[in-house]
Structure 1
Amino acid sequence: MTRASDWLDGYLKAWETKAAEDVRAIFTDDAEYWYRPNDEEPVRGIDAIIEAWMEPEPGVPVPDLAVLIEDGSLGIIKGTVDYPGHETYTNLWEVWFAPDGRAARFVEWYMTPRSPAS
């Protein structure tokens, strides 16, 4: 396993359980969570991240995600997340690691499918 794949496994577990201890296991106390790279401000700090994760989702997510590249401080994860009956998102995630392997900064880049031309 690699740092990024270990982190992704932890993320998927935390996403499924929504347990505060699982979220704390993957984000530092002062982590920044950017839902979009162009947001004015991130969700900042572990307590705010946990609170944001408790918001309802549009359904049960079906992720198909994998590590694309990584180095000592950055992991890039790509794939899709399907919310059956709602939407499928194409994702590229930046995971900036703290020395302990948790994310100090997380940035989501996601897209929805293009609508067919009329």
Structure 2
Amino acid sequence: MVEPQPWIEGYVRAWNSNDPDDISALFTEDAVYYTEPYSAPWHGREEIVARWLGRQDKPGEATFEWHPVCVADEVSVVQGVTTYADKTYSNLWVIRFVPDGRCREFTEWWMRHDAK
């Protein structure tokens, strides 16, 4: 069973570094990344890195707290909260792993909290 914690720690590290090597290390060569469940995915590690960097956050701009919902042999579902200075999002991630702990398919659902 692949535990999600090391991968998520790597994801947060990549999120804050925007280092192409940090991002690349998370995904298989042929990984698929859905930024929304029914959107066209990003295909392959090269496109994932390029598209990630095209919409990157500044280091330290957001915090991410999470907990597992379900952890199975090669898939984990995690629930999280992403907080920026001016907005907050609830997240649900489905992460499909290969045995070495890299992601082969990532799908995120996100919902912005109402402004008060």
Return the TM-score normalized by structure 2.
0.88
Number of residue pairs aligned between Structure 1 and Structure 2: 113
Secondary structure at 2:99's aligned position in 1?
coil
Indicate the structure (1 or 2) with the bigger Cα radius of gyration: 1
Q: Distance in 2 between matches of 1:103 and 1:96?
A: 6
Does the CA contact (< 8 Å) of 2:32 and 2:106 recur in 1? yes
* Percent identical residues: 29
Unmatched runs of 5 consecutive residues or more in structure 2:
none
8 A Cα contact 1:27 1:46, kept in partner: yes
CA–CA distance in 2 between the matches of 1:58 and 1:10? 15
**Structure 1: where are the runs of 5+ without partners?**
none
- Equivalent residue number for residue 27 of structure 2: 27
Question: How large is the RMSD of aligned CA atoms in angstroms?
Answer: 1.7
Query: Deviation string for 1:70-118 (max 9, x for gaps)?
Result: 1111011111001212x211000000001211110000011112467xx
How has the CA–CA distance of structure 1 residues 56 and 32 changed in structure 2, closer, same or farther, with 3 Å as cutoff? closer
User: Where has structure 1 moved over 6 Å in runs of 4 or more?
Assistant: none
